[in-house]
Amino acid sequence: MKKGDHLFLVDGSAYIFRAYHALPPLTRKSDGLPVGAVSGFCNMLWKLVEESRDTTVGVAPTHFAVIFDHSSTTFRNELYDQYKANRTAPPEDLVPQFAVIREAVRAFDLPCIEKQGYEADDLIATYTKQAIAAGGDVTIVSSDKDLMQLVGPGVILYDQMKDKRLGPEEVKEKFGVYPEKMIDLQALVGDTSDNVPGVPGIGPKTAAQLLDDYGDLETLLERAEEIKQAKRRENLVAFAEQARLSKRLVTLDCDTPLDTPLDDLFLNEPDGEKLIAFLKAMEFTTLTRRVAATLEVSASDVETATIAVDTPARGPDLDPMAGSGPAAIGGGEDGAPRLALVPAMLVESRKGEAAAASFDHSAYLTIRDEASLRDFLAEATETGILAFDTETDALSAMNGKLVGVSFAVAPGRAAYVPLGHVSPNGEADLLSERSAEEEIGPQIPLETALAILKPVLEDPAILKVGQNTKYDTLVMMRHGIVVAPFDDTMLISYALDASASLSGHGMDELSERFLGHKPISFKDLCGSGRNARPIASCEIERVTHYAAEDADVTLRLWRVLKPRLAAEGLASVYERLEKPLVPVLARMEERGIMVDRQILSRLSGRFAQKQGGLEAEIAELAGEEFNPGSPKQLGEILFGKLGLPGGKKTKGGQWSTDVKVLEELAAEGHPLPSKIVEWRQLTKLKGTYTDTLPNHMDAAGRIHTSYSMASTTTGRLSSSEPNLQNIPVRTEEGRAIRTAFVAPEGKKLVSADYSQIELRILAHIADIPQLKQAFVEGLDIHAMTASEMFGVPVEGMPSDVRRRAKAINFGIIYGISAFGLANQLAIPREEAGLYIRRYFERFPGIRDYMDATKAFAKQHGYVETLFGRRAHYPDIKSPNASMRAFNERAAINAPIQGTAADVIRRAMVRMEPALAEAGLSAKMLLQVHDELIFEVPDEEVDATLPLVAKVMAEAPLPRVDLSVPLVVDAKAAENWEAAH
């Protein structure tokens, strides 16, 4: 190194954390290896390399190195055992990336420097000192204030992300002192993130002023008695030694023994092939293209590197003191470092951690003042993780009022913030002398708390972890807070373990399963039934135990479950099909759909009238008054009293009276059964829809359903309170109910639905040429099937022939059985069996698909959709034949139904940005499995219809390119009935 040379020193460890927190999580597609930080790191490094090739800037480096921390135990720990003791383990999905990033640096052909017992900062200081002594210049690529002490003649700090270069003047501007006094300033101020104590009560402003007045730290400490402010004087005297210790801690060691001499840091032209081989292995397509273009290498000619895998005995995660260090990563014999297969290891270590979990309710905090809240949340800024949970006074997120919020920042470290608690005595309190505050203690005013929470819940560097985050997201949305970024333990569990045998993904259940701990139930806290009390009037200490525990459990669950996503290859299902849907559904629920109360009440009236007439007729025919709604009483009347020939079908030991039985009786000429069928239909429509829906309307006349994202095995959504996915459509009277779902003045409802999506997916997955051809040509698929099977020409085909084929097509999707088909078509089982055989003869690919799917499910215990979603069927190996058969049918159905569900989820995720980009204001309101309902301004209808159809039709791309077209029918009208 000589005069005119320029050394670039990159603070690699700082880079890693910055890249990690600034960017959304990203995983390598092929195996789910987390690579978000690697990607950010490579992009930043490449930018730096590119810039440095540009000699016009005049700071082109001749020497270059990337410096890393080796482990967090350094000589400073001997000075002060608490140094950096408050550091927590790095985020779990970052851990496996440390080794990959070192690999990246080598792929860039840059020296990768680290040393046992020293921090990156010490190495940087040492190289800087030597370079300056040799007459060169130095650019330190970092924004860490600890490095500011090195700034001086020939040395600047470069913050690449902000594109800011800091020389002595900029340091002075930022901290009020020139770089040479930075050490003294840091000694006074201390550093919470490194646990450097400093002097209490002295912040950067005061420190700068004191140093200005007294010159340096020693002088200041010696003359501390002269200081006028009593508190400041006492502290400086009392903590003088602590300040001196702090100074030693923050002073960088310029004489670190170097393994790689300065002159070896000479910058070479990057080896394009080596770099591209690495980038291709990481599957960074954009960066690969950019690098290939700049270095003029053809990326397709370069063979993708293989990233070797090795399992270290101890991963960084197992040793909290290892911090960001690469200590566990060994080198291969050929000198090439090998990577640890950390995801699987991490899963194991987290399982152990979870099994050992213990819960201490008394350790949970109740936060009642602003300062404590800020302090607690500051811990999340350190860890980058914040589990949270909201407590409200109603079950639905749309109606609930915020009663409190709980948080956890580390296992066992949790707190509850009461916000809307009231005196348990309720109104009696009005008569009492004591105010509510005197009785239940202080609470932070809601608006104040929200103002403190907002920047944290919206902080892109803090991952918020929740259980069923749609609920909490919606509650916070109603208070003007958009929670991001977030993870959802319920959805992680769902992506991992959607299963027909496991009952669910609720927190209590997950806690028992993974943590071996039964959390306090809501019932325990608030009682149930008539003894139920609102949570707002429960004793705050007990609510703290309950609520903080929920946040604690959520955080611990996240630690166990999240690593499994990458390890089991389910990260993309979670990241693409689950997580992004949360805010979309939250907004749909918040909007609700407008309902015309008058229409419903008119229908109720009409149904009531008919019902009354029917009841009289029924009593007349039965010869006595009885409750036609009671299957038990009805069975006794029909088969007992009237002695009708009852196919005496029972399951719970009773007469079966379902429609099928009643219709058979009616066909034999008995008048009563058909009256019952009619009465039931009306009662159903009235009781379930026209009478009940108005109870769900809000003041604006809108109904807000609640979607469950994790209650089906296949990936479908479900809707409840009320269920808007089962609004009648088949009968005319039923359809009338749909006319009550309307758009407000000046708008229309748009309904867009996939035509035959499941059959199309079946045609693609099972690869059936005739079916695919029929879909390509846009033929009537059921008629085509009938024609293939029964040899009847499509022209002039009797409707019954087509109906049978249609039933078979659906039967196939449902995992057909002769029994089921016979039931559906009311034909003998032998005949149904014949149909199925013939179907398999005509479409042998279907049988192959079914056999292959069953075999796969038996081998793996699950089946997969085209998008990688898994549905588990452990009972498919049951010794019980009917249980086994049931699981086989479900396993055959799940990839088809599930793929369709994935497709519409993708469409929903893309819909809002697509509409926004087109400048359209359509609002998505409902999803009914293969249909989306929107509210659209009249004048935008024409532009919206084709866009919506396009987004839906192209939803599988680019991940899956179906070999059949997806057809979407979209229509606008005044109400749902007319639009459908």
Partner DNA sequence: GTGGTCTCCTA
Partner DNA sequence: GTAGGAGACCACA
Binders of DNA among 688-707, rule CB under 7 A? 688, 692
SS (H, E, C) 762-793: HHHHCCCHHHHHHHHHCCCHHHHHHHHHHCCC
Taking the C-alpha atoms of 220, 226, 229 and 235 in order, what is their torsion angle to the nearest 10 degrees?
50
Taking CB under 7 A as the criterion, the residue among 193, 285, 723, 859 binding DNA is: 723
* Continuous H helices in 356-468: 370-383, 428-431, 436-440, 446-457
Total residues binding DNA (CB under 7 A): 72
399 binds DNA (CB under 7 A): no
- Min. distance of Cβ 911 from DNA in angstroms? 17
Interface segment toward DNA; rule CB under 7 A; list 224-232, 285-293, 313-321, 656-664:
656-664
Task: For residues 771 and 776, give the distance between their C-alpha atoms in angstroms, rounded to a whole number.
Answer: 9
Please give the residues from 44 up to 73 whose contact with DNA meets the rule CB under 7 A: none
- Min. distance of Cβ 29 from DNA in angstroms? 28
- Min. distance of Cβ 713 from DNA in angstroms? 4
229 binds DNA (CB under 7 A): no
Per DSSP bridges, beta strands 931-937 and 747-754 are antiparallel
Range list of β-strands (E), 12-83: 63-67
Please give the residues from 791 up to 850 whose contact with DNA meets the rule CB under 7 A: 807-808, 810-812, 814-817, 819-821, 823-824
Interface segment toward DNA; rule CB under 7 A; list 427-435, 469-477, 922-930, 951-959:
922-930
Cβ nearer to DNA, comparing 126 with 467: 467
- Closest by CA position to 406, among listed 311, 535, 237, 223: 535
- Min. distance of Cβ 822 from DNA in angstroms? 8
Query: Which x/- pattern over 625-654 shows residues binding DNA (rule: CB under 7 A)?
Result: --x-xxxxx----------------xxx-x
Query: Which x/- pattern over 12-51 shows residues binding DNA (rule: CB under 7 A)?
Result: ----------------------------------------
Q: Cis (ω within 30 of 0) for the bond into 722? A: yes
Taking CB under 7 A as the criterion, the residue among 708, 853, 865, 899 binding DNA is: 708
Task: For residues 22 and 41, give the distance between their C-alpha atoms in angstroms, rounded to a whole number.
Answer: 11
Cβ nearer to DNA, comparing 551 with 752: 752
Taking CB under 7 A as the criterion, the residue among 97, 235, 246, 714 binding DNA is: 714
- Min. distance of Cβ 718 from DNA in angstroms? 3
755 binds DNA (CB under 7 A): no
Distance of CA 361 to the CA centre of its chain: 28
Return the number of other C-beta atoms located less than 10 Å from residue 497's C-beta.
Answer: 21
How deeply is 795 buried, as exposed, middle or buried, from its count of CB atoms within 10 A (0-12, 13-18, 19+)? exposed
Task: For residues 929 and 717, give the distance between their C-alpha atoms in angstroms, rounded to a whole number.
Answer: 7
Helix, strand, coil share (%) of the chain residues, nearest 5: 55, 10, 35
- Min. distance of Cβ 588 from DNA in angstroms? 16
The SS3 assignment for 480 reads coil
- Min. distance of Cβ 816 from DNA in angstroms? 4
Interface segment toward DNA; rule CB under 7 A; list 87-95, 194-202, 250-258, 684-692:
684-692
Per DSSP bridges, beta strands 593-595 and 702-703 are antiparallel
Please give the residues from 478 up to 507 whose contact with DNA meets the rule CB under 7 A: 500
- Min. distance of Cβ 543 from DNA in angstroms? 20
Taking CB under 7 A as the criterion, the residue among 186, 251, 324, 713 binding DNA is: 713
Please give the residues from 664 up to 683 whose contact with DNA meets the rule CB under 7 A: 677, 680-681, 683
Cβ nearer to DNA, comparing 64 with 835: 835
Residue-by-residue DSSP string for 710-768: SS-SSS--EEESS--S----SSHHHHHHHTTEE--TTEEEEEEEESSHHHHHHHHHTT-
- Closest by CA position to 794, among listed 810, 811, 777: 777
Length of the chain as a residue count: 980
Please give the residues from 881 up to 900 whose contact with DNA meets the rule CB under 7 A: 886, 889-890, 893-894, 897
Taking CB under 7 A as the criterion, the residue among 260, 674, 725, 963 binding DNA is: 725
Cβ nearer to DNA, comparing 691 with 954: 691
Interface segment toward DNA; rule CB under 7 A; list 204-212, 277-285, 728-736, 775-783:
728-736
Please give the residues from 600 up to 629 whose contact with DNA meets the rule CB under 7 A: 627, 629
- Min. distance of Cβ 116 from DNA in angstroms? 54
Cβ nearer to DNA, comparing 120 with 911: 911
Q: Which residue carries 């992004």 as its tokens? A: 580
SS (H, E, C) 99-151: HHHHHHHHHCCCCEECCCCCCHHHHHHHHHHHHHHCCCEEEEECCCHHHHHHC
- Min. distance of Cβ 723 from DNA in angstroms? 4
Cβ nearer to DNA, comparing 329 with 863: 863
521 binds DNA (CB under 7 A): no
DSSP label of 975:
B
- Min. distance of Cβ 642 from DNA in angstroms? 16
Task: For residues 770 and 805, give the distance between their C-alpha atoms in angstroms, rounded to a whole number.
Answer: 15
End-to-end CA distance of the chain: 77
The SS3 assignment for 840 reads helix
Cβ nearer to DNA, comparing 104 with 812: 812
Taking CB under 7 A as the criterion, the residue among 116, 268, 311, 726 binding DNA is: 726
751 binds DNA (CB under 7 A): no
876 binds DNA (CB under 7 A): no
179 binds DNA (CB under 7 A): no
**Residue 309: left (phi > 0), alpha (psi -120 to 50), or beta?**
beta
Q: Residue type at 163?
A: D
Task: For residues 849 and 763, give the distance between their C-alpha atoms in angstroms, rounded to a whole number.
Answer: 10
Cβ nearer to DNA, comparing 392 with 681: 681
> Are residues 562 and 575 in contact, defined by beta-carbon separation less than 8 angstroms?
no
- Closest by CA position to 220, among listed 196, 194, 202, 193: 202
Cβ nearer to DNA, comparing 92 with 888: 888
> Are residues 611 and 617 in contact, defined by beta-carbon separation less than 8 angstroms?
no
Cβ nearer to DNA, comparing 399 with 731: 731
User: 79-107 burial string, b = 16+ CB within 10 Å, else e?
Assistant: ebeebbeebebbbbbbbbbbbbbbbbbbb
- Min. distance of Cβ 561 from DNA in angstroms? 20
The number of C-alpha atoms within 13 Å of 72 and in the hemisphere containing its C-beta is 21
Taking the C-alpha atoms of 187, 189, 192 and 196 in order, what is their torsion angle to the nearest 10 degrees?
20
- Min. distance of Cβ 655 from DNA in angstroms? 7
Cβ nearer to DNA, comparing 601 with 688: 688
Q: Which residue carries 């069953």 as its tokens? A: 854
Please give the residues from 243 up to 302 whose contact with DNA meets the rule CB under 7 A: none
716 binds DNA (CB under 7 A): yes
Please give the residues from 86 up to 125 whose contact with DNA meets the rule CB under 7 A: none
Cβ nearer to DNA, comparing 381 with 654: 654
Please give the residues from 527 up to 546 whose contact with DNA meets the rule CB under 7 A: 528-530
77 binds DNA (CB under 7 A): no
Query: Which x/- pattern over 339-378 shows residues binding DNA (rule: CB under 7 A)?
Result: ----------------------------------------
Cβ nearer to DNA, comparing 128 with 499: 499
> Are residues 507 and 467 in contact, defined by beta-carbon separation less than 8 angstroms?
yes
Query: Which x/- pattern over 929-958 shows residues binding DNA (rule: CB under 7 A)?
Result: xxx---------------------------
Residues 6+ apart with CB under 8 A from 730: none
